[in-house]
């Protein structure tokens, strides 16, 4: 092998020098291992064009596996959304390099039913095997393999030809996979030259994405699709076209600030329009061009087809196989109408949306075969407009208004929606004003309480109050069911939950969080208070996992924070640390910590002293012993029953868990460290500690008071705390870690006898240039000791977990 003895970094440098020396191999693109790009003379204007994205492996490797790893890496990070893909993907090792045309494998990146959230380098996952099977035939047929020793000249010629093609006049083709990347570049170069006040335009519902679509779907600067909201007409744009009262055609025009220079230079790099087979897809995905805050407010979220189909199967389960012929359907937050895909009876379907532009898109899609009626698709602001028919000056089609006002037909109406998720608690003031300024917000303020902050709950309230006895079939978060802020809303929203399923939120476009999104079918004819909702759980591929209950908990004594409040003490003197508490659900568990003093973040700060240490540790352990997942993200921590009070084993386990957990961020750099779990002799410390509070507490020099709750200092020695074998294992693992720290050869003046766990980790792991602690140490002994501590802590967590449910801190 030509590069047999080289390490991976050396191999990449050598291949770059021997074969790609004319080009730029220094670029970093996402998590891609090795990138080859053309040198860019004007990097401030354009991103340099990539030639190859590659995966490198030292020694001899399976290049098929390496290519699949590269594809997983790109798909997981959606690198193609941020950078224009190269003509080739590649993989190389010490012996050979294999190239595969990007266009031949790009379709796999748009699989709706594939879980990209796996480790690309783990070849043992089912996802790796599935992807391998999908691309193996393509690699067999399309891969170009060159061995460095035997095929040196052929490889040199191939690379030269690849570069010559790029240096030539070939324009970059636009398709459904790169139109969003090109849009992001268009925003930087073309948008500033368009004579529009974008802030004012945004308030009028005009977005830059419509101008981009006009550019994209044009030839010789003439937009080819007439139904778009904005059209390019050679040297200007035309929009808001309509017939006035005199029957004359009117429209607005928008010019360029720079005589169209930047526009022409930009589009000279790309081949327009894309192939016609992509047009409908690109127009349908207009939602991707809508700014995030507008998308959240208007509900312009594209529902993945896998969940559209599943929701319609659930509707058939509840309403019967012939439901589309027996029921009427109104999507009142339709966007571009993809939720209605697959429905067959267009005479029973209505679609409305806030944006006139989206109406134009749906009308254009109808012209291209979408199964809807033009007169059933209309612009309507559901949270502000009145229910009036067009025949009386309103916006509703008369046929739909008749269904809304006739009780018999209304009972056969299904409001089928994926409504907007914006909330007024957002830090973005524009979102806050949009949510709070709706007529529904004002009208139902007294019935919504804090839940009025959620736009989708405003939708539910209006439907329930003003379209009574209908069915609501809606995608949403679980706040209406679980959140304490929705308690008042639940007292007024009385409906039977017929069926619900939940899926990971990040299977929806542009949703990053790990939480469930549910599809709920509510029968408002049957008045039932929301208490327990039984939910079918599906994974990202649409495979059924299990059934799980979600609880309203309105009849409970309270949440865990109410329980904690009773143990607080007044004043800030004599405390040994502060418990940072927060909203009582899993999504806020990352904020739960022990620290030296009160912080500035909005939240609950619980001062810990000798009298309430155990209660703080119980709270901490209950919040952290069960790992947060997308599925339990909305589960609520509750006020427990009293059985925990007699379980000293549970209490002591929680103490041990808290002392050694990573979220115990006590540092001797910020004050006296009262949390060292050992005496000086146990860890061979070189100097006396400033505080022995925890060992004294464990030894029994603090005892329970007469009321069974408070801990009082006494002079006589009492029985020491007894720990379970799992807790003892944690102490033993921690003791070895402390001993290793105190055995180091410290530079003079750097030894800290009072070091906490946080301080010890900082010592071994170090910090980066931003003063953030590194994730790992170069000291392998320390890494092994820390791993052992974490393993012991996990076993202790597993012991604590069943009691969390037994004592009512959580419901199963």
pLDDT given at position 71 = 95
Q: How far apart are CA 328 and CA 376, in angstroms?
A: 12
Mean pLDDT of 50-55: 92
E strands in 488-646: 496-504, 516-523, 532-538, 544-551, 577-581, 593-595, 604-608
- Specify the higher pLDDT residue, 677 or 246: 677
pLDDT given at position 40 = 64
Contact criterion met (CB below 8 Å) for 629 and 597: no
CATH number for domain 299-551, candidates 3.10.620.30, 3.40.50.150, 1.10.150.20, 3.40.50.970: 3.40.50.150
142-178: pLDDT as tens digits: 788 888 988 888 888 888 877 665 443 346 778 877 8
Q: How far apart are CA 358 and CA 355, in angstroms?
A: 5
Locate all alpha helices (DSSP H) within 78-125, ordered by sequence: 102-105
720-770: pLDDT as tens digits: 899 999 999 999 999 999 999 999 999 888 999 999 999 999 999 998 877
Q: How far apart are CA 81 and CA 680, in angstroms?
A: 56
Confidence label for 291 from pLDDT (cuts 50, 70 and 90): low
- Cβ contacts of 317-320, under 8 Å, gap ≥ 24: 317/499, 318/498, 318/499, 318/521, 319/414, 319/471
Judged by DSSP in three states, 713 sits in strand
Q: What is the pTM of this model?
A: 0.69
Q: How far apart are CA 391 and CA 376, in angstroms?
A: 14
pLDDT given at position 167 = 42
Mean pLDDT of 282-291: 76
In this prediction, what percent of the chain has a pLDDT beyond 70?
90
pLDDT given at position 706 = 32
356-402: pLDDT as tens digits: 878 888 888 887 778 899 999 999 999 999 999 999 999 999 999 99
Q: Is 501 exposed, middle or buried (0-12, 13-18, 19+ CB in 10 A)?
A: buried
Pairing status of strand 172-173 against strand 270-271: parallel
pLDDT given at position 27 = 85
Choose among 779, 776, 739: nearest CA to 755.
739
Choose among 588, 601, 708, 729: nearest CA to 657.
729
Locate all alpha helices (DSSP H) within 692-779, ordered by sequence: 693-699, 725-742, 757-765
Contact criterion met (CB below 8 Å) for 125 and 119: yes
Mean pLDDT of 402-415: 97
Q: What is the layout of strands, in order, in the sheet containing 144-147?
A: 34-37, 50-56, 88-92, 96-101, 144-147
Mean pLDDT of 487-499: 96
pLDDT given at position 426 = 43
Q: How far apart are CA 757 and CA 738, in angstroms?
A: 8
Helix then strand count (H, E) for the chain reads 30, 26
Count the Cβ atoms, other than its own, within 10 Å of residue 463.
25
779, pLDDT greater than 60: yes
N- to C-terminal Cα separation, the chain: 58
pLDDT given at position 374 = 94
- Specify the higher pLDDT residue, 284 or 613: 613
Which region among 426-440, 517-531, 703-717, 722-736 has the lowest average model confidence (pLDDT)? 703-717
What would the DSSP string read from start to end of 55-78? EE-SSS--HHHHHHHHHHHHHHHT
In this prediction, what percent of the chain has a pLDDT beyond 90?
58
pLDDT given at position 176 = 78
pLDDT given at position 164 = 62
pLDDT given at position 410 = 97
Confidence label for 427 from pLDDT (cuts 50, 70 and 90): very low
In this structure, what is the dihedral angle of CA atoms 128, 181, 303, 488, given to the nearest 10 degrees? 110
Q: What is the layout of strands, in order, in the sheet containing 516-523?
A: 377-379, 349-353, 328-331, 413-417, 471-476, 516-523, 496-504, 532-538, 544-551
- Measure the CA angle with vertex 401, ends 399 and 406; round to 5°: 100
Choose among 331, 333, 352, 343: nearest CA to 370.
343
pLDDT given at position 246 = 54
Contact criterion met (CB below 8 Å) for 354 and 298: yes
Confidence label for 440 from pLDDT (cuts 50, 70 and 90): very high
Q: How far apart are CA 479 and CA 501, in angstroms?
A: 15
pLDDT given at position 361 = 81
pLDDT given at position 147 = 86
């Amino acid at each position: 092998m030509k590069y047999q003895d080289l390490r991976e970094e050396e191999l990449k440098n050598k291949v770059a020098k021997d074969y790609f020396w004319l080009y730029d191999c220094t670029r970093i693109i996402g998590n891609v291992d090795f990138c080859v790009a053309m040198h860019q003379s004007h990097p401030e204007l354009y991103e340099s064009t990539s030639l190859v994205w590659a995966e490198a492996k030292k020694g001899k490797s399976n290049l098929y596996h390496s290519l699949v790893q590269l594809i997983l890496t790109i798909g997981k990070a959606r690198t193609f959304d941020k950078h224009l893909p190269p003509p080739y993907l590649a993989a190389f090792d010490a012996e050979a390099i294999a190239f595969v045309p990007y266009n031949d494998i790009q379709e796999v990146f748009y699989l709706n039913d594939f879980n990209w959230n796996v480790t690309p380098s783990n070849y043992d996952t089912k996802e790796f095997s599935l992807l391998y099977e999908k691309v193996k035939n393509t690699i067999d047929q399309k891969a170009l393999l060159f061995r460095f020793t035997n095929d040196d000249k052929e490889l040199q010629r191939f690379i030269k030809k690849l570069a010559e093609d790029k240096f030539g006049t070939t324009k970059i083709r636009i398709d459904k996979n790169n139109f969003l990347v090109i849009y992001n570049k268009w925003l930087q170069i073309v948008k500033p030259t368009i004579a529009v006040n974008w802030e004012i335009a945004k308030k009028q519902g005009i977005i830059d994405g419509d101008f981009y679509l006009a550019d994209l779907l044009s030839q010789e600067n003439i937009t080819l699709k007439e139904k778009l909201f904005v059209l390019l007409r050679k040297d200007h744009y035309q929009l808001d076209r309509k017939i006035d009262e005199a029957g004359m055609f009117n429209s607005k025009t928008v010019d360029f600030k720079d005589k169209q220079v930047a526009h022409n230079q930009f589009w000279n790099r790309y081949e327009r329009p894309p192939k016609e087979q992509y047009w409908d897809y690109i127009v349908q995905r207009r939602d991707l061009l809508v700014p995030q805050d507008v998308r959240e407010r208007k509900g312009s979220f594209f529902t993945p087809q896998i969940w559209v189909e599943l929701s319609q199967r659930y509707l058939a389960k509840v309403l019967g196989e012939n439901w589309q012929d027996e029921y009427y359907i109104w999507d009142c937050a339709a966007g571009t109408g993809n939720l209605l895909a697959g429905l067959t009876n267009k005479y029973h379907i209505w679609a409305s949306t806030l944006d006139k532009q989206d109406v134009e898109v749906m009308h254009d899609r109808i012209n291209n075969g979408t199964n809807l009626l033009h007169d059933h698709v209309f612009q309507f602001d559901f949270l502000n407009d009145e229910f009036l028919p067009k025949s009386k000056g309103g916006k509703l089609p008369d046929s739909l208004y008749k269904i809304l006002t006739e009780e018999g037909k209304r009972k056969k109406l299904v409001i089928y929606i994926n409504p907007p998720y914006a909330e007024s608690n957002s830090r973005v003031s524009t979102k806050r004003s949009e949510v709070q300024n709706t007529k529904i917000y004002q009208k139902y303020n007294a019935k919504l309480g804090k839940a009025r902050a959620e736009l989708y709950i405003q939708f539910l309230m209006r439907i329930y109050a003003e379209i009574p006895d209908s069915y609501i079939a809606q995608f949403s978060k679980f706040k209406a069911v679980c959140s304490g802020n929705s308690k008042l809303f639940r007292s007024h929203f009385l409906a039977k939950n017929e069926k619900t399923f939940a899926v990971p939120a990040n299977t929806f476009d542009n949703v990053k969080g790990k939480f469930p999104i549910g599809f709920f079918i509510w029968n408002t004819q049957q008045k039932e208070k929301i208490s327990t909702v039984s939910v079918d759980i599906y994974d990202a591929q649409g495979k059924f996992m299990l059934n799980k209950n979600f609880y309203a908990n309105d009849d409970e004594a309270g949440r865990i924070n109410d329980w904690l409040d009773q143990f607080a003490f007044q004043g800030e003197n004599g405390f040994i640390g502060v418990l940072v508490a927060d909203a009582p659900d899993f999504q806020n568990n990352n904020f739960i910590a022990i620290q030296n003093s009160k912080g500035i973040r909005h939240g609950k700060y619980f001062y810990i002293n000798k009298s309430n240490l155990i209660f703080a540790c119980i709270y901490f352990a209950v919040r952290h012993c069960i790992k947060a997942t997308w599925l339990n993200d909305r589960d609520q921590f509750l006020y427990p029953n009293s059985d925990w009070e007699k379980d000293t084993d549970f209490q002591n386990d929680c103490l041990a868990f808290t002392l050694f957990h990573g979220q115990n961020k006590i540092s001797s750099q910020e004050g006296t460290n009262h949390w060292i779990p050992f005496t000086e002799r146990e860890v061979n410390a070189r100097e006396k500690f400033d505080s022995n509070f925890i060992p004294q507490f464990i030894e029994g020099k603090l005892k329970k008071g007469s009321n069974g709750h408070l801990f009082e200092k006494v002079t006589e020695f009492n029985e020491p705390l007894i720990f379970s074998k799992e807790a003892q294992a944690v102490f033993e693992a921690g003791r070895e870690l402390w001993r290793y720290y105190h055995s180091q050869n410290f530079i003079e003046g750097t030894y800290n006898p009072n070091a906490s766990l946080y301080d010890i980790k900082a010592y071994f792991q170090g910090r980066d240039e931003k003063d953030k602690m590194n994730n790992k140490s170069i000291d392998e002994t320390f890494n092994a000791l820390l791993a052992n501590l974490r393993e012991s802590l996990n076993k202790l967590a597993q012991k604590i977990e069943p009691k969390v449910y037994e004592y009512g801190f959580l419901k199963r």
